[in-house]
Amino acid sequence: MGSFREIDPVNCCSNIGVTCSADALTGLYINNAAARKPIPESRNLKSLESQSHLPAEPLPKALMKMTNLKALDLSVAIITDISVILSMTWLESVDLSAAGLKGPVLSFSNFKDLKKLILKVNKFTSVGRLDLPALEILALSSNNLTGSLPDLSLLPNIQELYAQKNGFTSFGKDYENARNLQKIDISENPNLYARLPSLSSVTACNVTDTPFCSLTDKSNVCGARPCFTPSLRAQCMLISEAYFAMGGDPPGLPGICCFNGVSRCNAENVTKIDLSVRGLSGPTPKSLFQLNLEELILYATILLKSHRN
């Protein structure tokens, strides 16, 4: 794999990319500008970072002897054999971003002290069982993931979840009970038509370009649209009927209430309709009078005759 700069044998800690504590090597940064040399075996090393575009090579087994190592960053390194990393169960932080990994997400099941796991920009396709009781940050963005978002039942301390730019279709277990979850980014998951669980502890949320819905206003901390409840379904059918009667094509997408022409709705009712400047004409449909509206806008619409007396 990529290696490090020539280290001054007299004053090791004076080198760029080298961190020392009490005359012991504790941190090492490896980059492309480095000479290709073996990683020094140091049991005191606590942080190892390698951001390399060099050709793939097997990870050195010397890593398995670094039992004091807490943080391992091998982002932008092409990894052909993950077995060395999976044996380092004492790690607290692992970053394998853009490492050319594919298939199911690695379980890291024996990493009981792992607090940070970054696996973004790979080619993972599914998330299995993640039993990581200490995990606080999980980043799975920009993969090819489908199916359910990670179950949180075995991630009791999760605080930040980044799963944007994937193909997830549903939520995993225990999102409503994730009391420590503070940040979640599930934007750009175009197939996530599931109901948004209550996320009472979340303070930062990104759901851009994700079509799921919120069942109640109380759980709608992410600003999701209301779910397509039976009541809303009936109301949207009336709006579609009115739209069609006035010469428009029936609008809407499956499972979405606030479709083209419906500008606002809450958990139970459509409250505002804007059908202005749509080239519609004809009698005002009776179906509109069956709705409990707060606002109705028909600007630039040709109304021939009202059906209401």
Predicted model pTM: 0.66
Of 65, 26, 63, 27, give the one whose Cα is nearest residue 44: 26
- Tell me: the pLDDT tens digits for 79-138? 878 888 899 999 999 999 999 999 999 889 899 999 999 999 999 999 988 999 999 999
| d(C-alpha 294, C-alpha 7), whole Å | 73
Distance in angstroms between the alpha carbons of the first and the last residue of the chain: 82
**For the chain, which ranges sit under pLDDT 50?**
1-10, 15-16, 32-37, 53-56, 216-219, 251-257, 307-309
Closest C-alpha to 18, from 49, 41, 60, 54: 49
270: amino acid identity, one letter: V
DSSP letter string over 99-159? S--EEEPP--TT-TT--EEE--SSEEEE------TT--EEE--SS--EEEPPPSTT-TT--
Position 271: which residue type? T
